[in-house]
Amino acid sequence: MDSLHLVHVKLLASDILTLTPQHTSPPSFVCCGRTVVRAEVVGVVVSRDRREKFLRFLVDDGTACVPCVLWLNHQYLNANSSSDSDPTGEMALKMSEVVCLGTLLRVRGRIVMYRGAIQIVVRDVVLEEDPNVEVLHWLQCVHMAKECYDLPLPSA
C-alpha cells in the first residue's frame, strides 16, 4: 500500500480539484497513480459562511479556490460522552474564529466528495503571519511532485 494515504499531502488547490475519486471505503482519490486521502493547502480566505453546525469557507491559493468545511457540532457527534466539556468542539470553535476573510491560512484535512464536488473536511487551521508562506508552499508542492508524488510506486 502506498504511504501517501497516511499523510497530509501538500497540494495546490487546482491539483486537489482535479483529483480522481476512487470508489473505496473509506473514500480516497488518485493523484499521479497514488492514493491520496488527506491534503494540506495554503491560501487566502475569500468566502466564509458560518452555520450552527459547521463553517464553510473557500481558500484561494492563486491556482483555484478549494471549498473547506469545519464541523462545529462535535458535541452532537459525541452525545454519548458523559463529560460536560467537549475539547474537540472547543478546538473547532477556536479554529473557526481564525477563519476570517482575507486571512492567510494553512488548512489540513480529509478530502471528500460532497454533492459531486471535492472539498476538504478540516482537521486543523493555522493562521500564517508571514505572506511568504504561500510562495514557500507552492515551491514545496512543486518539489514534492518531482521528488515523490510523480515517481513510480516501488514494486513489492
DSSP per residue over 78-115, as a string? TTT---S--HHHHHHHHHHHH--TT-EEEEEEEEEEET
Average pLDDT rounded to a whole number, residues 21-46: 87
**CATH class, range 9-149:** mainly beta
Torsion of the alpha carbons at 116, 118, 124 and 126, rounded to the nearest 10? -130
* Alpha-carbon torsion (143, 18, 132, 38), positive or negative: negative
* Alpha-carbon torsion (134, 135, 137, 138), positive or negative: positive
Helix, coil or strand: residue 62: coil
80 pLDDT above the threshold of 60? no
22: nearest Cα among 118, 120, 154: 118
pLDDT value at position 155?
60
CA–CA gap between residue 144 and residue 119 (Å, rounded): 22
Q: Where does the pLDDT of residue 125 fall: very low under 50, low under 70, confident under 90, or very high at 90 and above?
A: very high
Decide: 9 and 31 in contact? Cβ < 8 Å. Answer: yes
Q: Where does the pLDDT of residue 89 fall: very low under 50, low under 70, confident under 90, or very high at 90 and above?
A: confident
Average pLDDT rounded to a whole number, residues 4-16: 87
Beta-sheet strand order (sheet of 34-36): 20-22, 28-31, 34-36
**pTM as predicted:** 0.83
